[in-house]
């Protein structure tokens, strides 16, 4: 179980003095896990707890509030992924105007030492910090020595000859390659959210769907996917989903995840569900009639069942 310390909240005394993995950790991909492993080694050596320190909101959202959605995980998904790596504390540092204006030295003194009491800090080789990104990995080593904590700098983690990065994962998803994204993340990309009321059109044609807004998740390629969904009971149920804007239905423009669970009956409205996008089946497209749409849905369901066997 990981103890999450939300933005702006107090840091209890028992949570100070950890070995920290520091970064954004969006996706908790293979490169992130290498940084966490370095912090874990320091925690074991120093006999201190392992923690992760990240930023909320993501600095990219702070500096570009109108940017397109880009996140790979919800905060809850990130916390669970970090817990699976052995972290016992997650510090969600409030990324606001004050933190953004700190110099690199002030960030170390006020946040890493003053707030967190870091015993050790692990970062990626390309980590930057401080106003206008004035601090880099070499600077962190210098400042850490002055402040009395050790620093581990982790090099690039390659997969297929290219650096593993959140940017590369987003590119896979945009291209309709959830298998490639999963290989880089170490787990399937999944959309988590509360089931909302739609127009119930799927139910009228015998294909009820659970509808979930995409929020600030990166937009995967719009289309139809083979899926597995956890409705909150830990069981990953097979299904088929459309991600997109329902071009056949006039007036519906907000992108949604609409997932149909095979052989399932029940009311999911208001429940939080998590759906893994496993295989891309086809692009989203407009149909001339609901009859044509219904026929294609049957074909999609058959293809999804075959792909999930």
Its pTM stands at 0.92
Domains, the chain, in order of start with CATH, read: 3-159 (3.40.50.620), 188-308 (2.40.30.30)
In a structure prediction context, what are the per-residue pLDDT tens digits for the chain, which is 309 residues long? Answer: 899 999 999 999 999 999 999 999 999 999 999 999 999 999 999 999 999 999 999 999 999 999 999 999 999 999 999 999 999 999 999 999 999 999 999 999 999 999 999 999 999 999 999 999 999 999 999 999 999 999 999 998 877 667 899 999 999 999 999 999 999 999 999 999 999 986 555 555 568 899 999 999 999 999 999 999 999 999 999 999 999 986 555 555 689 999 999 999 889 999 999 999 999 999 988 887 778 888 888 899 999 999 897
d(CA 109, CA 76): 29
Among 30, 23, 279, 35, CA closest to 160: 30
| 20 neighbors 112 (Cβ within 8 angstroms) | yes
Joined tokens for residue 97: 């105007």
Sheet holding 3-5, edge to edge: 3-5, 89-94, 50-56, 19-22, 120-124, 150-154
Across-strand partners of 257?
Answer: 212, 243
Among 210, 212, 191, 194, CA closest to 267: 210
């Amino acid at each position: 179980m990981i103890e999450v310390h939300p933005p702006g909240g107090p840091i209890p005394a028992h949570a100070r003095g950890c070995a920290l993995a520091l970064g954004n950790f969006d996706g908790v991909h293979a490169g992130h896990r290498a940084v966490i492993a370095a912090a874990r080694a320091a925690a074991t050596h120093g006999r201190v707890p392992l923690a992760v320190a990240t930023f909320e909101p993501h600095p990219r959202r702070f500096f570009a509030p109108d940017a397109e959605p880009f996140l790979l995980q919800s905060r809850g998904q990130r916390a669970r992924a970090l817990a699976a790596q052995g972290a016992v504390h997650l510090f969600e540092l409030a990324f606001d105007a004050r933190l953004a204006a700190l110099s690199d030295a002030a960030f170390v003194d006020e946040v890493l030492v003053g707030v967190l009491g870091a015993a050790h800090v692990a970062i990626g080789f390309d980590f930057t910090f401080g106003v206008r990104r004035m601090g880099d990995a070499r600077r962190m080593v210098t400042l850490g020595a002055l402040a009395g904590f050790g620093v581990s700098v982790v090099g690039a983690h390659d997969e297929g000859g290219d650096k593993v990065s959140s940017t590369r994962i987003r590119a896979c998803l945009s291209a309709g390659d959830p298998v490639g994204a999963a290989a880089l993340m170490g787990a399937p990309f999944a959309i988590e959210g509360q089931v909302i009321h739609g127009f119930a059109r799927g139910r009228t044609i015998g294909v009820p769907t659970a509808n979930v807004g995409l929020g600030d998740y990166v937009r995967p390629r719009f289309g139809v996917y083979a899926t597995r969904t956890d409705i909150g009971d830990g069981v990953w149920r097979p299904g088929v989903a459309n991600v997109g804007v329902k071009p056949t239905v006039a007036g519906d423009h907000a992108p949604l995840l609409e997932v149909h669970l095979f052989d399932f009956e029940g009311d999911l409205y208001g429940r939080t569900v998590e759906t893994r996008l496993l295989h891309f089946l086809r692009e989203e497209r407009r149909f001339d009639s609901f009859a044509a749409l219904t026929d294609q849905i049957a074909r999609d369901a058959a293809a999804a069942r075959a792909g999930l066997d």
